[in-house]
Amino acid sequence: MRNRKMAALTTVPYVIWMALFVVIPLVLIVVYAFTSKAGGFTLQNFSAMGDYAKVFARSLWLALAATVICLIIGYPVAYALSKMGPSFQRTAIMLLMLPMWINFLLRTYAWMSLLENTGLINTFFDNIGLFDLINKIALSLASDPSAYQPIDHFQMINTQGAVILGMVYNYLPFMIMPIYSVIVKIDRSMIEAAQDLGADSVTVFRKVIFPLSLPGVLSGITMVFVPSVSTFILSKLLGGGMNMLLGDLIELQFMGGAYNPYVGSAISLVMMIIVMICMTVMNRFGDGEDQAVML
Amino acid sequence: MKKNIVLLAVLLAAMLFTACSSEPQEVVNVYNWGEYIDESIFDDFEEQTGIKVNYNVYESNEQLYTVLNGGGVSYDVIIPSDYMISRMIEEDMLEKINFDNVPNIAKIDPAYLNLEFDPAQEYSVPYSWGVVGIIYNTKVVNEPVDSWSIIFDEKYSGQILQFDNSRDAMATALFYLGYPVNTTDKAQLEEAYQLLVSQKPILQGYVMDQIFDKLEGGEAAIGVYYAGDALTMMEVNPDLAFCVPKEGSNFFVDAMCIPKGAENKENAEAFINFMCETEITIKNMEFTGYATPSAEAYEQLDEEVKNNTIIFPEKDLIENCQTYTNLPEDILELYNDYWTKLKS
């Protein structure tokens, strides 16, 4: 009894922290979202939301694409990792986390100099003669050779693809880690039981391992999707500022020419609701696996 | 063991209290743009006056406005640009400066005093000034550049960088169209916006300080930016050149101000006065690359610097330029709408 009291007491700092820096700001966002510039209650901040439909759609679409790619890449990695020897696992996990020791912005700047038209990748292709080769082939195939425009680079930076790449690169470990930690904890005897009952390896994976790893998949999806949908610096650095995302739109309300924290809060609120709906649907889809943590 | 911990805690607490009870140090809290002051000046100032400088930086006028508006901060000296100063004056966010404590204002060239943003010269002391212009790579651009038309020229598709903020970006279009840069005529603004929409497909991107890397490294060939920074880029990449377009451009003045409720107003005035000392002004200018408004400091500059037309453009060129003024609320909102639509 005494122990439990002590245990509860140790959570006090965390509770205070969360209340101060999560709950109160959330309440403020809700209050601001329904406040007019003059200070009264209003719904006007939401009426302009239709204008931003394109930004909402693009953000959700890019985040979804990044999440799917992370899942496709991350799941096999997590699965294969769980099959390896323990010392290999430890090393591999450390290597996975290693890029995170470098500042997020720096990593993104590194991608900029890789992807630029005069960047490392294009320079490399140019030096091995890839563009000359492509130009020659294309020229010989072209029906009107005089109209053919020779290429000297692949356009990689300042595209939506570059933004998705940035999301996948930065958030992939958040997909691998939860899936991996769930798979390694799967009881071996379950798999053995399935094998004893005559299941081949495909069936074992499909009927036992995959369903049991779903909680990990769901947390992975949450941990990739939520930061992706609200990112704002990636579209600026890798997308050339040409494709505004929700994060940019919200930042603009606070730091842009028209200081409007009310509309900014309204957009944030709508974004949070959309993300929560997405997550609820996901969790339903995962057959009510309540282990999957929301945030 | 437990005793030791208690002892340690008591000691720590005692140290805290002694720290608090020691002689109160005179301070001045300065809030400025990044890379916009020679920080060794703070030591000079402390040596001379005994006042310690606490220094912090912001990225844009709008960020400064947001931070001050949010409250909970106490700065004594800020250095906003012209249009933001007029907005802050209008919204009663600045203290009047007691010029008895800032006699060095006499050193400032009258050409930079009593400007539109502070007509009675009550709230601000000019810090530096400059113009916006086009920076281009002479290896790619073989024609003479003298007009805004080049940043709308399809020939350079994929090579052009535009400002990533609504005010400066709209201004490039308004200058090109020949409209006043502070226009509140919605038809003119609509036309400028449409021009930016048609420009978007030929742009490489909307950037702010990323422009340094992109132009220095040859990734882009044409960009629009501020003269002081153009100079920095040209030092790195000698192929770059700078031009102030013939249609006119933005002439900006950044000035030191004291925000309402400053806790150390007299220290702030001492600091502002110190920044106008001639040697300090020159030392600072060498660091920032931006032109000084001090007539006395200008006289003492090297001929080479004085004749550098990027730092000090010719008089008739400046006369052709316009300063930003604060726009009315509905026009600011229109800017915001256009900007969101343009970028989304």
Which phi and psi (to 5°) does residue B322 adopt?
A: -125, 145
Supply B145's token pair: 């550049």
**Do residues B276 and B77 lie in contact, with contact meaning Cβ atoms separated by under 8 Å?**
no
Contact check, Cβ <8 Å, B63/A117: no
User: Cα–Cα distances in Å, from A121 out to A113, A126, B161?
Assistant: 9, 9, 22
Return the H-helix or E-strand segment holding A129.
none
Element (H, E) at A256: none
Interface of B with A in 66-85 (CB under 8 A): 66, 69
Which of B63, B335, B341 lies at the smallest CB-CB distance from A258? B335
The domain spans of chain B are: 20-128+252-312, 130-249+322-343
How many Cβ atoms are within 10 Å of B123's Cβ, its own excluded?
A: 20
Question: DSSP state, B50?
Answer: -
Q: Is B286 left (phi over 0), alpha (psi -120 to 50) or beta?
A: alpha
Tell me the per-residue pLDDT of A47-78, one tens digit each, with 9 for 90 and over.
878 888 999 999 999 999 999 999 999 999 99
Query: Could you tell me whether strands B160-163 and B203-207 are parallel, antiparallel, or unpaired per DSSP bridges?
Result: parallel
For A206-214, the CB contacts below 8 A with 24+ separation are A209/A79, A209/A183, A212/A182, A212/A183, A212/A186, A213/A79, A213/A179, A213/A182, A213/A183, A213/A186, A214/A286, A214/A287, A214/A289, A214/A292
Decide yes or no: CATH 1.10.10.10 for domain B20-128+252-312.
no
Does residue A63 lie within any of the structural domains?
yes
Chain centroid offset of residue A216 CA:
15
* Domains of chain A: total: 1
Cβ distance of B340 and A254 shorter than 8 Å: no
More reliable by pLDDT, A264 or A255: A264
Chain B residue numbers touching A258 (CB-CB < 8 A): 332-333, 335-336
**Among positive and negative, which fits the CA dihedral A284, A290, A291, A295?**
positive
Q: Give the SS3 label for residue B16.
A: helix
Q: How far apart are the first and last CA of chain A?
A: 31
Q: How confident is the model at residue A294 (pLDDT cuts 50, 70, 90)?
A: very low
Gap between the Cα atoms of A109 and A119, Å rounded: 12
For chain A, what is the mean pLDDT?
89
Q: How far does B204 lie from chain A, in Å, by closest CA?
A: 7
Residues of chain B contacting residue A266, judged by C-beta atoms under 8 Å apart: none
Helix, strand or coil for residue A159? coil
Tell me how many degrees the CA angle B44-B46-B49 measures, rounded to the nearest 5. Answer: 105
> Which of B222, B231, B179 minimizes the C-alpha distance to B35?
B231
Are the beta carbons of B46 and B52 closer than 8 angstroms?
A: yes
Q: For residue A38, what pLDDT is reported?
A: 86
Q: Which of A251, A288, A291 is nearest to A267 (CA)?
A: A251
* Phi and psi torsions of B94, nearest 5°: -120, 150
Residues from chain A contacting residue B66 (CB–CB below 8 Å) = 254-255, 259
Exposed/middle/buried for residue A145 (C-beta within 10 Å: 0-12, 13-18, 19+) = exposed
Distances (CA, A) of B2 to A286, B7, B218: 50, 9, 65
Q: What are phi and psi of B28, to 5 degrees?
A: -140, 130
Report the residue from A119, A155, A241 with minimal CB separation from B164: A241
Q: Do the beta carbons of residue B30 and residue B55 sit within 8 Å?
A: yes
Q: Which two tokens stand for residue A82?
A: 């769980």
Task: pLDDT band for A106, please (50, 70, 90 cuts).
Answer: very high
At residue A293, does pLDDT exceed 60?
no
What whole-number distance in Å separates Cα of residue B4 and Cα of residue B10?
Answer: 10
| Chain B residue at shortest CA distance from A114 | B219
Chain A positions in Cβ-Cβ contact with residue B344 (cut-off 8 Å): 52, 54-55, 58, 244, 249
Q: What is the pLDDT of residues A128-172, one digit of tens each?
A: 999 999 999 988 888 888 888 888 899 999 999 999 999 999 999
Distance CA A124, CA A131 (A): 10
How large is the average pLDDT for residues A253-282?
86
- Render each residue's pLDDT in chain B as its tens digit; 344 residues: 455 655 555 555 555 555 444 567 899 999 999 888 999 999 999 999 999 999 999 878 888 998 898 877 889 999 999 999 999 999 999 999 999 999 999 999 999 999 989 999 999 999 999 999 999 999 999 999 999 999 999 999 999 999 988 899 999 999 999 999 999 999 999 999 999 999 999 999 999 888 999 999 999 999 999 988 898 899 999 999 999 999 999 999 999 999 999 999 999 999 999 999 999 999 999 888 899 999 999 999 999 889 998 999 988 888 899 989 899 989 988 998 898 889 88
Closest partner residue to B62 (CB to CB) among A248, A249, A256 is: A256
CATH of domain B130-249+322-343: 3.40.190.10
Cβ(A159)–Cβ(A58) below 8 Å: no
Beta-strand runs (E) in B103-250: 124-137, 160-163, 203-207, 222-226, 240-243
Exposure class string for A39-63: b at 16+ Cβ within 10 A, else e:
eeebeebeeeeeebeebbebbbebb
A218 with B298: CB under 8 angstroms?
A: no
Residue numbers of B between 170 and 209 with CB closer than 8 Å to A: 200, 203-207
Highest averaged pLDDT of the listed ranges A41-50, A281-290, B238-247: B238-247
* Amino acid B254: pLDDT: 95
DSSP states of B284-336 as a string?
A: HHHHH-PBP-BHHHHHTS-HHHHT-TTTS--HHHHHT-B---PPPHHHHHHHH
pLDDT(A176) > 90: yes
ipTM summary value? 0.82
Which amino acid type is present at position A227?
A: P
Considering only CB atoms, which chain A residues are within 8 Å of B164?
Answer: 236, 241
Partners of B337 on chain A (C-beta within 8 Å) are: 51
pTM of the model: 0.84
Provide, as residue numbers in chain A, all residues whose Cβ is less than 8 Å from the Cβ of B200.
Answer: 242
Bridge partners of residue B163, in order along the sequence: B207
List CB contacts (< 8 A) between B217 and chain A. 116, 118
| Coarse DSSP helix, strand, coil percentages of chain A, rounded to the nearest 5 percent | 75, 0, 25
Are B191 and B197 in contact by the 8 Å Cβ rule? The answer is no
* B289 conformational bin, left if phi > 0, alpha if psi -120 to 50, beta if neither: left
- Helices and strands counted in chain B (H then E): 14, 9
CB atoms A242 and B200 under 8 Å: yes
For residue B56, give the nearest of B25, B79, B23, B84 by alpha carbon. B79
Domain of A55 in residue numbering reads as 51-116+156-285
Cβ pair B166:A58 closer than 8 A: no
User: CATH no. for residue A210?
Assistant: 1.10.3720.10
Chain B interface includes A36 (CB < 8 A):
no
| Contact criterion met (CB below 8 Å) for A251 and B340 | no
Give domain status of residue A17, yes or no: no
Q: Tokens 């006499």 appear where? A: B106
Class of residue B11 by CB neighbours under 10 A (exposed 0-12, middle 13-18, buried 19+): exposed
Question: Would you say residue A286 has pLDDT above 90?
Answer: no
**Whether B336 and A241 lie within 8 Å, measured CB to CB:** no
Q: Is some CB atom of chain B closer than 8 A to the CB atom of A114?
A: no
Q: Is A191 on the interface with B (CB under 8 A)?
A: no
Q: With 90 as the cut, is the pLDDT of residue A32 above it?
A: yes
pLDDT of residue A281: 83
Number of residues that make up chain A? 295
A85 located within any domain: yes
- Distance in angstroms between the alpha carbons of the first and the last residue of chain B: 63
A7 vs B153 pLDDT, higher one: B153
